[in-house]
Structure 1
Amino acid sequence: MNSPTPLPETPTLTVAPLSADAHAEFLAAHPTASFLQNPRWPEVKSGWRGESLGVFADDRLVAATLVLHRPLPVPSAVPLVGGRTLAYLAEGPVLDADDVDLPAVLTALTERLRRDGAFLVRMGLPGVRRRWAAGDVRRALAAGEHRMLTELEPLTVDDDAEAVREELTALGWQAPGESEEFEAGQPQFQARIPLVDDDGAGLDAEAVLARMDQTSRRQTRKSTRSELTISVGGEEDLPTWQELYEETAERDGFTGRPLSYFQRMHRALNAADDTECTLYFAHLDQTLLAAAIFVRQGRFAWYVYGASAAQERKRYAPRALQLRQIEDALAAGCRWYDLGGLSPSLDPEHELAGLTRFKTTMGADVVQTQGEWDFEISPLLAKAFRLYMARR
């Protein structure tokens, strides 16, 4: 009788710090990883301490993540709570292959973070659960017959992503809720313009323009005939950006970021390999009409911030800058151009409906990500921290 073939042993996973160079090299092999996982990102985030961690199966690096630590607002000498931190994994961890055991990776990471003093781990695991076509969302928003985006038939569903949610729940992670407002951290629902076709072949600018609704396409084409000058600025031009950005914030009623934030972002991301942070301006003669900040890492591009003047609106300067960013993303071989978060509400009277309308008329499909999950190492401290943040 033949002896049974022994089953392969499950490799022991260990967690160890990664150097910035080793982390960047790992991300280079994962071209759609978020710039929020870039090891230089902690240079941008004041009030947070960053570290890169690798998960190893024997000697093979199978996952990596940037962790941002935010301490509790108490002196470090206070017993039991001093030095305890929120550990935040934005768009991480990034796994090296489909066969990597996610529960084992997360168990190893949370145990390491527990030993390091984390009271709560918040994770925005990469991945898309569902995707809705731009045109379907536009029509549903106009009709006003549905309350939430999730009531619509999606264009695609990732069954593996649904299985991941079951695994996370079994491990004790708390799923994010669905809110009509923007959540803290990274929005669960995001607008993304595909830059490749269903077979993965790159599109051209005309194909991307064809995704827009008639009005957006007409305005974008008109912007190219509006005698605008499009230029790229450097770090020394950020004060000019800031002036227009603050004007936009005051007019539109939002709280903007300080100049120092954009200076750190521009400096840090442009110092990273295969990552760029670009400042664009649109002028009419000597008058600045619009500005935008664009980030690209690997094969993913993001429209991160925009600003515009109140005058000469019919020149459609922001449209011109959107087109320029799309063209540059296409030239870099990007697969997606991300326009940021939006509300899943389909109420045409909702205060964020205009944002959804704008982004989908630009041809952006809507994706539902995994959202941000919480793992409570100390439920009492986690509850106290949430109450503190809610009252700020």
Structure 2
Amino acid sequence: MRALPGDDYLRYLAGRKEASFLQYPSWAEVKEHWASETIGWHRTSGELVGAALVLYRQFPGTRKYFAYLPEGPVIDWADPAVDRLLEPLKAHLRRAGAFAVRMGPTPEYRRWDAADVKAATGPGRRISDVLATEVDPLGAAVADRLRSRGWTRCGGESDADAQPRHVFRVPLHGRSRPELWASLNQEWRRNVRKAQKAGVEIVIGSAADLPEFYRLLEITEARDGFRLGRSLSYYHNQYRALNAEEPGRMRLYLARHQGEVLAAHTMITTGSRVWYQTGASADHRREVRPSNALQWRMLCDAQALGAAEYDMRGVPSTLDPEERPFGLLRWKLGTGGRFVETLGEWETPMTGATNHALYRAFQAYLGRR
């Protein structure tokens, strides 16, 4: 294992089209206050067999670091000898001064069809109460392997990961546009038609439109009771970094009605995957359904780009319609996709009493946050 120059790293990712955008070098530019490096695993022949973007956060007052591989590393998790990659990773990070490491293995763990989730909603219900439509054998095997090697899933059974453990994904591979339309539920199809009839116009914006997106995001946060904690400069930096790496990697979609932007959503594209990242909308004229029109356009564009799936990112684990977060899940269920539980994020401290003490202190710090 050794450091991997950026050009070599990007060439490797080009052959691994399923890699997350969080493992691209541009993401390191987005993450302020974190150091970073790109590393690779090589066979003795020189063949590159795995790679990762590692982010390092320094523990205050020390020369020690928390190492983080968001939705990484980019390796073949189906390799029975994957331990040959994880042990050198820990050794490399220990030499770099890491007291602990967190990573996000990419195999899925369990999946539920939208119809099964909708049928299971009720007071006090959670997704863990519902028998999964499908359990991914690879995900289950990787989880067992990590657990037996001393890795711990962050937060146990709770949603304590930095990246969402529960996500909603719409399969696109091999599906026609009419099939995508038919997969939307009746309410979604009605709302898309309503937006079209009302004259809602969908356009792709530019960096100059980010302040309007951010204004709508602040309205959305106040209305829906959440706080992302990101500044306008964060989105400017993200837009600049991702599109400098690959033009069009991050897009800003706007829904206009009667000359006013009523909704704005961001989309990220890498390889064979497309993500809906952040959505924002106004409080007024919601009856013209701008967000439904935006998502339908983004789904269609993702399909036209050749994406294998459209990842709508995080959803809550609650299935109780009376709980506030359920509204987001209900909205995404209408696309006819799948509720997916990923493997989540896994941590392990480095050996040594000092590293274990720093790890416990860092966990307490994260708990306070």
TM range (shorter): over 0.9
Write the mapping of 1:335-346 to structure 2, written as runs, cut at 5 A: 335-346=308-319
Does the 8 Å CA contact 1:64/1:95 hold for their aligned counterparts?
Answer: yes
- The reply on whether 1:23 has 2:9 as its aligned counterpart is yes
> Following TM superposition, by how much is the alpha carbon of 1:179 offset from its aligned partner in structure 2, in angstroms?
4.5
- Once the two structures are superposed, the pairs formed by residues 278-293 of structure 1 within 5 Å of their partners are 278-293=251-266
**Aligned-pair CA distance for 1:342:** 1.7
Question: Judging changes above 3 Å, is the alpha-carbon distance between structure 1 residues 351 and 312 closer, same or farther for their aligned structure 2 residues?
Answer: closer
Contact 1:62/1:100 (<8 A) preserved: no
Aligned to 1:193: 170
1:55 matched residue in structure 2:
41
CA 1:214–1:359 in 2, change beyond 3 Å: closer, same or farther?
same
Counterpart code for 1:219 = N
Q: 1:96 to 1:48 in 2, by over 3 A?
A: same
Q: Deviations over 1:289-341 (max 9, x none)?
A: 11111111111111111111111111100111101110110000101111111
| Structure 1 portions without partners, runs of 5+ | 1-14, 75-81
For residues 4-15 of structure 1, the aligned pairs below 5 Å read: 15=1
Q: CA deviation at 1:70?
A: 0.7
Alignment of 1:260 with 2:233, yes or no, is yes
Structure-2 residue corresponding to 1:380: 357
SS in 1 for 2:2: strand
Q: Which shows bigger deviation, 273-282 or 229-238? A: 273-282
Q: TM-score, normalised by structure 2?
A: 0.93
Q: Which runs of 4+ in 1 moved over 6 A?
A: none
- 264-273 or 56-65: bigger deviation: 264-273
Q: Is the 8 A contact 2:253 2:266 kept in 1?
A: yes
- Equivalent residue in structure 2 for 1:270, among 240, 243, 250: 243
Indicate yes or no: 2:75 matched with 1:95: yes
Q: Equivalent residue of 1:340, what SS? A: strand
- Is structure 2 residue 213 aligned with structure 1 residue 235? no
Amino acid at match of 1:16: R
CA distance 1:98–1:254, change in 2 (3 Å): closer
8 Å CA contact 1:26, 1:64 repeated in 2? yes
Query: Residue in 2 aligned with 1:166?
Result: 144
What one-letter code is carried by the residue in structure 1 that aligns with 2:52?
T
* TM-superposed deviation, 1:120: 1.0
Structure 2 unaligned regions, length at least 5: none
Residue in structure 2 matched with residue 310 of structure 1 by the alignment:
283
Question: Residue 183 of structure 1 aligns with which residue?
Answer: 160
8 Å Cα contact 1:149-1:346 kept in structure 2: yes
Give percent identity, aligned residues only: 38
Radius of gyration: which is bigger?
1
Residue pair 2:161, 2:344 contacting (<8 A) in 1 also: no
The normalised TM-score by structure 1 is: 0.88
CA contact (8 A) 2:105 2:344 kept: yes
* Aligned residue runs from structure 1 range 204-223, under 5 A: 204-223=176-195
* Offset from partner CA, 1:191-219 (integer Å, 9 cap, x none): 111112xxxx2x13321222222112211
Asked if the contact 1:189–1:369 (Cα under 8 Å) also holds between the matched residues in 2, the reply is yes
Give, as a single letter, the amino acid of the residue that structure 2 aligns with 1:229.
E
Once superposed, what is the RMSD of the aligned Cα atoms? 1.8
AA in 2 matched with 1:391: R
1:274–1:297 contact (8 Å) kept in structure 2: no
How many positions carry a matched residue from both structures? 363
2:41 is the counterpart of 1:41: no
The structure-2 alpha-carbon separation of the partners of 1:100 and 1:261, relative to structure 1 and needing over 3 Å to count, comes to: farther
CA distance in 2, matches of 1:243, 1:161: 40
